Structure 1
Amino acid sequence: MSKDQIVAYIISDCTGKTAKNLMESTAGQFPNCEVEMKTFAFVRSIEKITEVLKQAKEENAIIAYTFVKSNMRKHLNQLAESYGLKYVDMMEKPLGIVSERLDTAPKEEFALKYQLDDAYFKRIEAMEFTLQFDDLNESKGYEEADIVLVGVSRTSKTPLSVHLSYLGYKTANVPLVPEVDVHPAVLEKKDNKVVGLTIDPKLLNDIRIERLKKMGLGDDATYAAKERIDEEFKYADSIMKEIGCPVIDVTDKNIEETAVEVLSYFED
């Protein structure tokens, strides 16, 4: 393994999402380096920690972990130090600060945050709704949605919709195609729920060409032609202007950044 390559082990007594997000954000600051991430979720025994750490030693991995039980954190720390491995304990300091402020010891129980509450069921309902109304152009989806995204094909409408649904927002998305009339319910902009998405035409062309290649089609199809893209943009711009909705350029944004901007339009 070269000096520009590292392996990061994500170890958790739950899903590992928190530690993984940290390492992904960190890796993003080193775009010229390769960071391979391996996730070990639901690690809930000393024996399993030992097994994973032995594997980490072989790859000289960096470790980011979240354990709520202090004995598991202590075991991993000691073993990592004996192996000469670098590690980040993401739970010890937050637990200590909150425990000190509340003058109460943490329960050290697995996955308390994942108990089934109203927020959980709201999120599931939003996700089911969003999958049902992906790329549909009809009144029911618009009327029941919290957010409606509009834009030409390949402007990240679907992944953004799914991300917003995970946050608990019922999200419908409507493709803007010159040959298909937009449903009147969308054009009426009732309740101000519509947000438009746009992107740099050159980048869109590249994205569509890659999409065609994955589908086993040539890159000369009309779908990726400059003239077709210009036509779609002209149509989409006219529709979004008619609706009077805010428009977000997703060219240099990831899904999370775009979601934050979308939600800013719905703040009280």
Structure 2
Amino acid sequence: MEKEVVYVVSDSVGETAEFVVKAVATQFNGGSVDIRRNSYVEDAEDIEDVIVLASQNNKSVIAYTIVVSHLKEYLDRRAAEEGILAVDLLNPLMNAFEQKFHKEPNHQPGLMRKLDEEYFRKIEAIEFAVKYDDGRDPRGIIRSDIVLIGVSRTSKTPLSMYLAHKRYKVANVPLVPEVTPPDELFKVSRNKCIGLIISPDKLNEIRKERLRALGLTAQANYASFERILEELDYAEKIMKRVGCPVINVSNKAVEETASLILDLLKSGRRIT
């Protein structure tokens, strides 16, 4: 007795087609059908191999997700010639999209997987930025794509998160006179390290606002000009020692600074 077989054919991985076939198969006595996946078909020869196999079994079906037009046409023609039932799982919906939305499909295989990979790269970068925020673990400096250094309130964390959404792994390190910078900071390539500076007046304004938001007195040492000048002077010395490019963030939005950072990484220029 011939076994019921569904040949899943795809010009990509074929996961979508296999999932659909399994969902349908469960509606027929628990889905005992034999599913055989044929992934990454690239030419007529690949399709011909499946046609030969399917033609040898009267209880076989071909279910396919092929978006490359000439491959789809070839499979349809050969299946018809051999009397094989071939089911296109994508084309009916693609046609509906074309008619209703007035758009043309790309006819490019693997786009779904590419989107998935991009998504997971972004999630990985965001998790990295959280884990290595504010100098929590110096090991992140070596593993990062970008290292941001600067005194407190120079937008290191917002910048890290913004760049993470663009799939860059970012670590940031606060520069504080009382805390020796981690050794890793002086071992990484200066091209991926960015120093962030800010004017004393602007930093004073930001820190006072921060203290007010926390319900603390604006006269605290954290916002005093003397302390700010001390921190900025210390930060400048560290940045010179690292030899990294420096960006003045005084009057820049996060998006603007991020754009400058990416330009720096690509060109290797220095900017202030």
Bin for the TM-score computed over the shorter chain: 0.5 to 0.7
> 1:164 corresponds to which residue?
163
> 1:80 corresponds to which residue?
none
Within the alignment, does 1:146 sit opposite 2:145 as a pair? yes
Residue 114 of structure 1: how far off its partner (Å): 11
Match of 2:172, SS? strand
What one-letter code is carried by the residue in structure 2 that aligns with 1:225?
A: S
Deviations 1:194-246 (A, max 9, x none): 10001111011011001000111001100000000000001000000111100
Q: Distance in 2 between matches of 1:259 and 1:266?
A: 11
* Cα separation, partners in 2 of 1:124 and 1:220, compared to 1, 3 Å: same
Q: Distance in 2 between matches of 1:173 and 1:114?
A: 31
Gaps of 5+ in 2: 1-96, 268-272
- Which of structures 1 and 2 has the bigger CA Rg? 2
> 1:253 corresponds to which residue?
252
| Pairing 1:184-199 to 2, within 5 Å after superposition | 184-190=183-189, 192-199=191-198
- Contact 1:137–1:183 (8 Å) recurs in 2: no
* Cα separation, partners in 2 of 1:113 and 1:167, compared to 1, 3 Å: farther
Identity rate, percent: 48
CA RMSD of aligned residues (A): 2.6
Equivalences, count? 168
> 1:229 corresponds to which residue?
228
Residue 185 of structure 1: how far off its partner (Å): 1.2
Q: Distance in 2 between matches of 1:117 and 1:249?
A: 36
What one-letter code is carried by the residue in structure 2 that aligns with 1:203?
A: K
Deviations 1:8-36 (A, max 9, x none): xxxxxxxxxxxxxxxxxxxxxxxxxxxxx
- Contact 1:148–1:172 (8 Å) recurs in 2: yes
* Cα separation, partners in 2 of 1:166 and 1:105, compared to 1, 3 Å: closer
What one-letter code is carried by the residue in structure 2 that aligns with 1:167?
A: K
* Cα separation, partners in 2 of 1:191 and 1:221, compared to 1, 3 Å: closer
Within the alignment, does 1:126 sit opposite 2:99 as a pair? no
> 1:216 corresponds to which residue?
215
* Cα separation, partners in 2 of 1:216 and 1:243, compared to 1, 3 Å: same
* Cα separation, partners in 2 of 1:120 and 1:198, compared to 1, 3 Å: same
- Contact 1:137–1:182 (8 Å) recurs in 2: no
What one-letter code is carried by the residue in structure 2 that aligns with 1:232?
A: E
**Structure 1 length as normaliser, TM-score?**
0.57
